[in-house]
A = this chain, B = another copy of it.
Amino acid sequence: MKNAVGRDIPEEVLQACGKRPYAGAYARDGEAYKKAAPVVRGYVNPKRSKLVSSIREALEKCGIRDGMVLSFHHHFRDGDYVVNMVLEEAAAMGVKDITICASSLGAAHDPVADLIEQGIVTGIQSSGVRGRIGEAISHGKLKTPAIIRSHGGRVRAIEEGDVHIDIAFIGAPTSDEYGNARGVGGKSDCGVLSYSMVDAKYADHVVVITDCLVPAPNFPPSISMVDVDYVCVVDEIGNPARIVSNVVRMTKDVRELMMADYCTRIIAGSPYFKDGFSFQTGAGGASLAVNSMLRPIMEEKQIHMGFAIGGITKPICDLLEAGLVRNIVDAQDFDLGAIESIKRNPNHYEISTSEYADPMNKGAFVNQLDFVILGALEVDVDFNVNVVTGSDGIVRGAPGGHPDTSAGSNCSIIVAPLVRGRIPTICDRVVTVVTPGETVDVIVTDYGIAINPRRQDLIDAYKDSGLPLKTIEELRDIAYSIVGRPEQIQFDDQVVGIIESRDGTILDVVRKIRPYSFEE
């Protein structure tokens, strides 16, 4: 069945996962649903301790068994030890058929690929997949298709009961013996624990894993003791050097600076650029440069940002310190500067990922966004964006908050070089639709800017701006003229991944990769 972005979703996939095809970015607005709920056990007896001496004891006390869903967060990013630590122990106990429900999985989790080969891990649900896990998925090694969700979509899936977490493991820089856990204060600070908040509320069992036990109450807590069954103290929950980067890379690349300049002019020239505007940018070179480029314009026009949101980096914290940003609402920290800021600046707030981006709660921050700057692996002439599958068709990316912010914001800006090596970024048809074109407003490339025809208001706003406006087809043609029209990637029929829209409908599927063969 063809969905609203023209993708053919096989009936058997829809039936197997009990999902509807994507019907438009806002199709489920106002739809009623009953929230999911965990099975929990009360601590009525005030004398019981939550402390366990090992991951194994935690797994035993939570009643680990074959087929369970275990959840994890990715605030420790490439420095995470928790996923491997828990899965190794589960494997050693002979547990099989585990589904991982993670907020993201990355290079730190390459060993999981071996557990997939062994049938110990048979399901993956994540907002990002990279490295060997992505290869294992694309080669059809999982028993069930991987489910890829946006950050907001993951919260929604848990809250709507699409996935039920049996045991949530929450690596925490600090915790007290009752399980009040925080993202700061230990030797492995990650700033916030936003991704885990929904896990703590909806998992049947919740285990806090920390390498820094602190006196109670560890307040204000990111994760409250009222949701925590067990607290396990280990030597190290992560490698601090890889949890955050010490310095943010400020680009000197001329092409990136040019695109940053275009983005800045798009923002400054829009009707949304006024006092109190809101903004999200990522950690890419061009995105980061926009922060510093906006500054003099904000100063000159006496325009303050109401709030900045998203993955937070030092450049935006600098604007907070300078008084140009009134509030930062923070669901993830990308560098040490951001972590220092949330420790110290009272206007820098931790939020839950539900507050950040869940489309089916009663209004997330992304709904209040004026501008977001996002990246892309591919953009097609319908403005659909792919940020998950690489040019070889293999899963190696993350929707993250991309579809959420794009759907919520007044002006979503995708910034990407027109070509990368031999690969055109703008193309006829993206391999995988991750963010539907309906929600994408402006494409900024080093060869020009395309505005979505759905946004005639924006096209009008920039008509005398001097910006190099082009149609998306013109950008595609330039790209093809440089690198040629790419050959289609060859896939088998087997569906190995499901790209879930943030609202839980099916946006696209990823098929098993086929070794390249020349056409006859």
A interface residues with partner B (beta carbon < 8 Å): 25-46, 48, 50, 156, 178-179, 206, 215-217, 219-220, 224-229, 276, 306-307, 327, 329, 349, 352, 354-355, 358-369, 407-409, 503
User: Does B37 contact A361, Cβ atoms closer than 8 Å?
Assistant: no
Q: Which residues of B contact A329 (CB under 8 A)?
A: 217, 219
CA–CA, A108 and B382, complex, Å:
60
Chain B: minimal CB distance from A51 (Å): 12
Do A358 and B226 touch across chains, with their CB atoms under 8 A apart? yes
**Residues in B neighbouring A43, C-beta threshold 8 A:** 29-30, 361-364, 367
**Beta-carbon contact of B40 and A35 below 8 Å:** yes
Contact across chains for B226 and A355 when beta carbons are under 8 A apart: yes
| Closest Cβ neighbor of A46 among chain B residues | B367
Neighbour of A408 across the interface among B29, B46, B276, CB < 8 A: B46
B363 x A50 contact (CB < 8 A): yes
The answer to whether A364 and B226 touch across the interface, beta carbons within 8 angstroms, is: yes
A31 touching B41 in the complex, CB below 8 Å, given contacts A179-B363, A224-B355, A364-B226: yes
Q: Given A224-B355, A225-B355, does the pair A42, B367 have CB atoms closer than 8 Å?
A: no
Flag if A32 contacts B28 (CB, 8 Å).
Answer: no
Residue of B nearest to A178 (CB): B363
Instruction: Give 22 A-B contacts (CB < 8 Å), ordered by A residue.
Output: A26-B44, A26-B45, A29-B42, A29-B45, A30-B42, A30-B43, A30-B44, A31-B41, A34-B39, A35-B37, A35-B39, A43-B361, A44-B359, A44-B360, A46-B368, A46-B408, A217-B307, A220-B220, A226-B352, A226-B358, A226-B362, A228-B362
| A307: nearest chain-B partner, CB-CB | B217
How far apart are the CA atoms of A215 and B229 in the complex, in Å? 38
Identify which of A27, A31, A46, A227 gathers the most chain B CB atoms within 10 Å of its CB. Answer: A46
Cβ-defined contact, B42 with A349, below 8 A = no
Residues from chain B with a CB closer than 8 A to the CB of A363 are 43, 48, 50, 178-179, 225-226, 228
Taking each of A40, A178, A360, A366, which has the highest tally of chain B beta carbons within 10 Å of its own beta carbon?
A: A40
Residues of B contacting A40 with CB < 8 Å?
32-33, 35, 360-362
With CB as the reference atom, state the residue of chain B lying closest to A358: B226
Main secondary structure of the interface of A (DSSP, over half): loop
**Chain B nearest CB: distance from A225 CB in Å?**
5
For the complex, give the distance between the alpha carbons of A37 and B362 in Å.
15
Q: What separation, in Å, do the CA atoms of A360 and B41 have in the docked complex?
A: 7
Across the interface, do A362 and B34 meet the contact criterion of CB distance under 8 Å? Answer: no
Q: A37-B35, A38-B34, A363-B178 are in contact. Are A368 and B216 (CB under 8 A)?
A: yes
Q: How far is the CA of A50 from the CA of B40 in the complex (A)?
A: 33
Q: Which residue of B lies closest to A409 (CB)?
A: B46
Q: A217-B307, A225-B363 are in contact. Are A37 and B39 (CB under 8 A)?
A: no
Evaluate contact between A362 and B29: CB separation under 8 angstroms. Answer: no
Bound together, the chains give a CA A364 to CA B216 distance in angstroms of 12
Contacts of A366 in B (CB 8 A): 46
The answer to whether A361 and B227 have CB atoms under 8 Å apart is yes
Q: A43-B363, A224-B355, A225-B362 are in contact. List 7 more A-B contacts (CB 8 A).
A: A32-B41, A33-B40, A42-B156, A226-B352, A226-B355, A228-B362, A229-B362
Contact across chains for B225 and A503 when beta carbons are under 8 A apart: no
Could you tell me the distance between the alpha carbons of A139 and B349 in the complex, rounded to whole angstroms? Answer: 51
Report how far A224 CA is from B351 CA in the complex, Å: 10
* Residue picked from A48, A354, A363, most chain B C-beta under 10 Å: A363
| Chain B CB within 10 Å, residue with most, of A206, A307, A361 | A361
Residues of the B chain whose Cβ atoms lie less than 8 Å from the Cβ of A349: 217, 219-220
A410 to B, closest residue via Cβ: B46
Known contacts A34-B38, A368-B46, A362 near B227 by CB under 8 Å: yes
Contact A28 B46 (CB under 8 A): no
Chain B residue with minimal CB distance to A50?
B363
A26 to B46, CA, bound (A): 9
Return chain B residues, CB-CB under 8 Å to A408: 46
Separation in Å of the A155 CB from the closest CB of chain B?
Answer: 9
Chain B: minimal CB distance from A408 (Å): 5
- Residue in contact with A306 in the complex, picked from B42, B216, B407, CB distance below 8 Å: B216
Q: Tell me the smallest distance from the CB of A279 to a CB of chain B, in Å.
A: 14
A48→B408 CA distance, assembly (Å): 11
A50 to B307, CA, bound (A): 20
Q: Is the CB of A33 within 8 A of B44?
A: no
Sorted nearest first, the 7 A-B pairs with minimum C-beta distance are A42-B360, A46-B367, A226-B361, A35-B37, A43-B363, A29-B44, A29-B45
Contacting residues, chain B, for A362 (C-beta < 8 A):
40-43, 50, 179, 206, 225-229
